[in-house]
A and B are shown apart, each in its own frame.
Chain A
């Protein structure tokens, strides 16, 4: 009997090892450990044995049972693993196929540069002011010391509306951001430090001019502010904006009705592979000057027009093209493309929403 059991065990273990799938294995389990299974039958024989017999046969039968059940568990694990492996193999993906694409948005260079400017000037104590784009000729011209017959008015290529406001002032599209100077001084008084970015309009259109473009105005009115402060402010701002310490400015006398003295500001550049890169002295070999902005000491008549005492308050103002600054910093060469809404251009020259300018990270977003 013992030999019979031993050989049955060997047979069963072999069959379990050979079971090729879960069903075959289960058949072996039923045949051995099922109610009618031979191991179960063997276990039942224990009941009819004498204690002595049980003592000797019991461990042997239990061992058979354990061997069979362990073998089944082991084989089951093998079969499951193989099944999982083959299932996973069947689930193989071609990961060279493209993943779902999320559209990538962008911030327009003009907005980015305006944010950069706001950040730089905030550090110098300037807040951001705004004003209407459809202006009246008093704010756009008269209060800026351009009387109706002033020749400079004609030089502004102004877009006019047929309308007048309630005071009889001619309505027009502002030709510069300077009327915000007047509005801010009238609303806030002095001392004042503002920048005023926004859209401005000139009836001018060619390769380098568009009838709408962006300007940023700067205004400081306080006691004892003079040309030296203007120079420092422009140098500081341009060095911060271009993140270069070698920015060199050249101030040239000029004429704007709303400033006296008036100063045109050139900045030195260097020819680097046919591109003008700002930095260095414009008089140095391989360098040149480019006209960048207009500025000056606020004309006392403008201070008066804004309702302030020109004997107490004086200051400076400047205006610079935002689109121009963007082009100089980020290398675009076609102004018209700024206003086309072409996604290819926007994707190339636009900025990530996470390029929020910060002083700690540097206000510029590197390519």
Chain B
């Protein structure tokens, strides 16, 4: 909300500077977002006297003026305005001045070969109005040479943010009251004398919707002439960012901006029959002042006559019955609308307005007659006419909030001791009534006051939050206790492990294009899809971390990156119990582009393969505390993956801890990225919680005896997973075999068709005494027998 210092001073007797006022506004909770200083804005513009005007030698429409600026020799200025003439006074912009309307800096220049030392300005160029037909004509007594800012009595403009709990400060008067309470000047409330009607109101006014419109006051003023509003009003409205329209419209706007009181003026000639506040009929339509048609429903309050709806109550007037230049009789409306219902209606219609903002936060229920008096007196003064008697249909809420308060609460909640008398002074200066037993009655306009904490806030904010002293939180003795949960510790470890393995952590959007989410949605039980996404690209909550990373990899490839190694820790979003969400901690990894870039030692670039994905999966599961020694590699990574180059890592047959592998060509195609691309997803929530083992490790000493290594080469079916063979080998003698590791896989010459040769290195660890040859042979026999159960035969 904007207002000028001059306007504020209309309500506040103060000598404080704009800077002091601004600091105090901030201190009491009215945030100053900007102060516009017109002296700065109009720097370089001054009152000037046109001494002579002669035709431009080379241009019909231009004149060459000689202009007295109040100092030095007259300046030569080229001007195209038809009203420029010798003897007039106007506003000259000197070289260096910046034209407010377009931000252009004026320069000394030649216009069609004639030197020009500035610009005579129009109203529009100085953003003082819309007129651009000619240059500004100042009265003959305007002092030549005076800075235009000074001449124009332009006043600094405050742009403030009013919090939604303070509709009483959505008018300049309310802000003045707060400032006065805080010691900036003396508050000067402005009220008009009631104007007695000279004739009965010719229009019937009713409220048929006492819930939505508890009170509807009105009167008619006849015989008005609706011209332009006076300069002082236009200046204030402009400072507030409002364009003056006509006296009647400007006066209602002025009432709203000065007093926070929206009102409406109807052109009586356009009304027919009783004017009634009622519920809209479902489907009823109204063309509003913003030239849009709104379709209403039966929860919305409207003001209507026999012909139909003229006003979406409290939100926007209708186009049809608005005042125009030809209006002679007006019906004034001052109503009280239920704040909640206004808010609901505004949101339903997607329509907001200055009036709506005020009504939905709550206007002053005690200021209907006062508002109507001000409105009447302004209209009579500016537009003339004759007022009818006032009609009052219904009545606004009148039950004030009374709070049982204890001045000790300021210290208890606010942390600052304020003597009781000062607390009382503050409250009374804000129009609260405080009795001897500290029953505090809030003024009706303060809808935000509910309880004692609100009173504390009033007292503390006016007293000054800067007077609140810091008080240390009570601390436990000794060193701070650890606070991280096992899940948090796991996340930290796996994050830093991934970064240490050369992966970069990314954060991608939680929402995806629906198609991308769908592509990864298998087994998801229904995506969470936003009703009001900000764009189609951010619509469905991700069922997997891979698509977001894949999109990043694609962006990187498009930017020419050789390789993308990204990981992300975040949530996948599923459907949970009772309509709630089920959000699962997950790590996603995408490896795309070159694993090894081309190099002098390695030759051409090498892509990532599925084993790289497996390596990340296992290493990071281990970092996350999963028992990786017990994991089984199985299939079914999902249709997004290459069916022959992907797998899952499971703890037992059902519990999938991770999936990994090369992505399916159709996935790559869907994401428009060149392959191969590897992906991994770790389902952190599936990892069994670590049993809290304490700090001591299980007892261990390295074996004293030398381990024995033996190699076995087996012929197996080409389709036999090597892992099955290794498991058979390891299982042959669990006591003595400490490891079995494939060191060669071969098919081709010397190996029968349909077979492959798999060579396994087995490490045997003696414990009490070294193995004898017989013992080693016995173990070897067990290995061969066990392998044979997988169809393996020992190669000769």
Contact = CB atoms under 8 A, between A and B. Distances in A.
Contacts of A126: 483
Contacts of A341: 506-508, 548-549, 552-553, 555-556, 564, 566
Contacts of B454: 260
B578 A107 contact: no
Interface residues of A, number: 95
B533 interface: yes
B507 A260 contact: no
B565 A103 contact: yes
A150 B583 CA distance: 29
A244 interface: no
14 contacts: A108-B507, A134-B580, A160-B530, A227-B468, A228-B470, A232-B472, A250-B26, A251-B468, A252-B31, A253-B29, A261-B413, A297-B414, A340-B552, A341-B566
Contact of B453 (A132, A220, A297): A297
A36 interface: no
A298 B792 CA distance: 71
Interface in A282-333: 297, 299-300, 314
Nearest to B485: A128
Given A152-B164, A252-B465, A102 B531 contact: no
Interface stretch (B65-73, B474-482, B774-782): B474-482
B743 interface: no
Given A128-B483, A133-B571, A227 B505 contact: no
B785 interface: no
Interface string A125-158: 1111000111010000000000001111011000
Interface stretch (B254-262, B315-323, B393-401, B456-464): B456-464
A69 interface: no
A241 interface: no
Interface of A: 97-98, 100, 102-108, 110-111, 115, 118, 121-128, 132-134, 136, 149-152, 154-155, 159-167, 171, 173, 193, 199, 201, 203-205, 211-212, 220, 222, 224-233, 235-236, 250-255, 260-264, 297, 299-300, 314, 338-344, 346-347, 350-354, 356
Contact of B27 (A132, A155, A252): A252
Interface in B496-513: 496-511
A118 B343 contact: no
Interface string B408-447: 0001111110000000000000000000000000000000
Interface residues of B, number: 101
Contact of B600 (A97, A108, A152, A229): A97
Given A166-B578, A300-B453, A134 B556 contact: no
A228 B473 CA distance: 9
Nearest to B502: A103
B470 A255 contact: no
Interface string B524-560: 0000111111100010010000001100110110010
A236 B529 CA distance: 41
B613 interface: no
B488 interface: yes
B773 to A, nearest CB: 41
Nearest to A300: B453
Contacts of A98: 599-600
B385 to A, nearest CB: 37
Contacts of A211: 509, 511, 534, 538
A229 B471 contact: yes
A123 B480 contact: yes
B573 interface: yes
Contact of A132 (B461, B482, B565, B583): B583
A118 B484 contact: yes
Main SS class of interface, A: mixed
A193 B475 CA distance: 11
Contacts of A107: 495-496, 499, 505
A250 B561 CA distance: 46
Nearest to A252: B26
A305 to B, nearest CB: 14
B344 A228 contact: no
B414 A261 contact: yes
Contact of A233 (B414, B465, B473): B473
A106 B580 contact: no
B470 A261 contact: no
Given A122-B480, A127-B483, A151 B361 contact: yes
B581 A226 contact: no
Contacts of A124: 473, 475, 480
Contact of B413 (A110, A152, A227, A254): A227
A255 B29 CA distance: 8
Nearest to A224: B412
Q: Which of A171, A254, A262 has the most CB of B within 10 A?
A: A254
Q: Which of B165, B340, B415 has the most CB of A within 10 A?
A: B415
B688 interface: no
A226 B413 contact: yes
B29 A252 contact: yes
A122 B473 contact: no
Interface of B: 26-29, 31, 163-166, 339-341, 343-344, 346-347, 360-361, 411-416, 448, 451, 453-454, 456-457, 460-461, 465-466, 468-476, 480-485, 488, 492, 495-511, 528-534, 538, 541, 548-549, 552-553, 555-556, 559, 561, 563-566, 569-571, 573, 578-581, 583, 599-601
A228 B506 contact: no
Given A107-B499, A339-B509, A260 B415 contact: no
Q: Which of B27, B498, B530, B583 has the most CB of A within 10 A?
A: B530
Nearest to B497: A353
Contacts of A127: 483-485
A232 B475 CA distance: 13
B461 A253 contact: yes
B500 A134 contact: no
Contact of B412 (A159, A162, A226): A226
Given A111-B569, A229-B415, A262-B457, A151 B31 contact: no
Nearest to A128: B488
A249 B426 CA distance: 25
Contacts of B29: 252-255
B457 A261 contact: yes
B473 A254 contact: no
A254 B166 CA distance: 10
A278 B465 CA distance: 21
B169 to A, nearest CB: 11
Contact of A254 (B31, B509, B556): B31
Contact of A165 (B343, B503, B510, B579): B579
Contacts of B578: 165-167
A228 B416 contact: yes
A345 to B, nearest CB: 9
A253 B465 contact: yes
B473 A339 contact: no
Contacts of A171: 528, 579, 581
A347 B27 CA distance: 43
B499 A352 contact: yes
A163 B475 CA distance: 44
A27 to B, nearest CB: 43
Given A134-B541, A165-B578, A354-B500, 8 more contacts: A108-B505, A199-B570, A227-B413, A228-B416, A255-B166, A342-B556, A342-B559, A353-B497
Contacts of B476: 125
A205 B508 CA distance: 15
Q: Which of B27, B341, B470, B548 has the most CB of A within 10 A?
A: B470
Task: Please name the 3 residue pairs, one residue from A and one from B, whose CB atoms are nearest each other, closest first.
Answer: A341-B552, A228-B415, A253-B29
Contacts of A314: 412-413
A270 B190 CA distance: 43
A190 to B, nearest CB: 14
Nearest to B468: A227
Contacts of A163: 528, 579
A26 B330 CA distance: 131
B502 A104 contact: yes
Contacts of B505: 105-108, 111, 346, 350
